[in-house]
Structure 1
Amino acid sequence: MTKFILTALVIALIGPVALHAEPAPWYHWRSKSTGALACSQTPLGAGWARADGPYRDARCEKPLPAK
């Protein structure tokens, strides 16, 4: 019974934190060799540099408001 109460308490305390999670922002990445732009949430490698962002969508069209 004590294990059940402890588990329920942990779920009750962690639940609100998990519900407020947001997706990672998107950024424009520019190729260092060709200058081409790509939209990605993560770095594309050594040959790419972050150009601008953050954005809310995968097309890098909707900027995130400044916090």
Structure 2
Amino acid sequence: MTKFILTALVVALLGPIALHAEPAPWYHWRSKSTGTMTCSQTPLGPGWARADGPYRDARCEKPLPTK
């Protein structure tokens, strides 16, 4: 019974934190060899450099407001 109460307490305390989680921002990435631009949340590898961002959509059209 004590494990159940402890588990319920942990879930109750961490629940609000999980509910405020946001998705990762999107960035424009430029190919170092061809200059091609693409939009991604994660680095594409050593041949790519982050060009601009962050954005809140997968098309890199809606900028995130600065905090």
Scaled by the length of structure 1, the TM-score of the pair is 0.98
Q: Show the counterpart of 1:56.
A: 56
Q: Show the counterpart of 2:3.
A: 3
In the TM superposition, residue 18 of structure 1 has moved relative to its aligned partner by 0.4
Equivalent-residue separation in structure 2 for 1:3 and 1:46 (angstroms): 47
Q: How do 1:1-67 residues align onto structure 2 when only pairs under 5 Å count?
A: 1-67=1-67
Number of residue pairs matched by the alignment: 67
Q: Identity percentage over the alignment?
A: 88
In structure 2, runs of 5+ residues without a counterpart are none
Equivalent-residue separation in structure 2 for 1:7 and 1:41 (angstroms): 33
CA-to-aligned-CA distance 1:20-65 (integer Å, 9 cap, x gap): 0000000000000110000000000010000000000000000000
In structure 1, runs of 5+ residues without a counterpart are none
Scaled by the length of structure 2, the TM-score of the pair is 0.98
